Amino acid sequence: MKLFNNKKIKLAYLMANLLSMYVFTSYSQITASLVDFDAYQNLVSEVKEHRKNHLLNAEEFIATSKEEKVIILDTRSDSMFMAAHVKGAIHLNFSDFTQDNLAKVIPSPDYKVLIYCNNNFESKPLALNVPTIDLSRYFVTKISRPIDINPVLFRKKKTVRPKQKAKSGPNSFNEMITEDFPVNSKPITLALNIPTYINLYGYGYRNIYELSELVNTNSQKLEFEGTAITNAIRIIKN
């Protein structure tokens, strides 16, 4: 009986070792995600040059939209598109971009694709006593602004350990040094046009043209349509 128990213990120990080796091997052989930052960075550099000659002001945008084999593509969210969009635009949410989905809305690669985003529009009254529609909630500017830090509470300092021991002086590996925080004082625009352009280019489309002008939605430079506009017109008329 004792011999049987010893064999049982050894077998359990062996199984535990085999299991631990299997787990370790499985973790060490995890397949990397399909994300290639370097390739994307190279693509961005290529797109940056291509985009320089593919920017249109509002007048050029309208003229081009009337040509043959042209579509206006809106890649904002479903709800924002339904509420308000440039008249005649078709919709494909940016998060739904795939080779197959793009082929469904762009008939062929030789079509011109006109793009715009929230950062192309602002809603300002043009004059007193002139009916206007405020579309600012449907074309919200995407921008990252610096956070205002209370200088009394936060002095924009950070404390770090030195990277290497000083050759002379009191500093050592265990002592701390106070340095200035880098402060970004310039707002950064996070326009959807940029990733839209990059992805369209990455999927093989080259006839991409981006609206480059900031357009007042009440200026009548471009026509808009959507449920928010229909409701607003109904209210104004009543």
What are 151-167's pLDDT values in tens digits? Answer: 555 555 555 555 554 45
- 165 found inside a domain: no
pLDDT-based confidence at 46, cuts 50/70/90?
A: very high
- Domain with 27 in it: 1-31
pLDDT bin (cut points 50, 70, 90) of residue 122 is: very high
CA nearest to 144, candidates 100, 189, 107: 189
Same domain, 97 and 111: yes
Beta bridge partners of 225: 85
Mean pLDDT over 190-199 rounds to: 97
Shared domain check, 22 and 79: no
- pLDDT confidence tier of residue 173, bands split at 50, 70 and 90: very low
Does pLDDT of 141 surpass 90? yes
pTM of the shown model: 0.74
The number of folded domains in the chain is 2
Domain shared by 197 and 227, yes or no:
yes
What is the residue whose two structure tokens read 């890649």? 75
Q: Is residue 13 part of a domain?
A: yes
pLDDT over 60 (residue 4): no
Q: Does residue 204 carry a pLDDT above 50?
A: yes
With respect to residue 149, please indicate whether it lies within any of the assigned structural domains.
Answer: no
State pLDDT tens for residues 62-112: 999 999 999 999 999 999 999 999 999 999 999 999 999 999 999 999 999
Where do runs of H (alpha helix) occur along 85-133? Answer: 99-105
Residue/partner pairs of 57-66 with CB below 8 Å, 24 or more apart: 57/211, 57/212, 57/213, 58/211, 58/213, 58/215, 58/221, 58/222, 59/221, 61/114, 61/116, 61/209, 61/211, 61/213, 61/222, 62/221, 62/222, 64/112, 64/114, 64/209, 65/114
**Mean pLDDT, the chain, integer:** 83
Instruction: Return the C-alpha torsion angle 218, 219, 221, 227, nearest 10.
Output: 10
- Mean pLDDT for 2-13 is 60
pLDDT of residue 34: 93
The two tokens of residue 35 are: 């994300």
* Residue 46 and residue 114 in one domain: yes
Give the pLDDT mean for 105-132: 90
Residue 234 predicted with pLDDT over 90: no
Going by C-alpha positions, the residue among 199, 220, 213, 215 that lies closest to residue 113 is: 199
Q: Is 133 contained in some domain?
A: yes
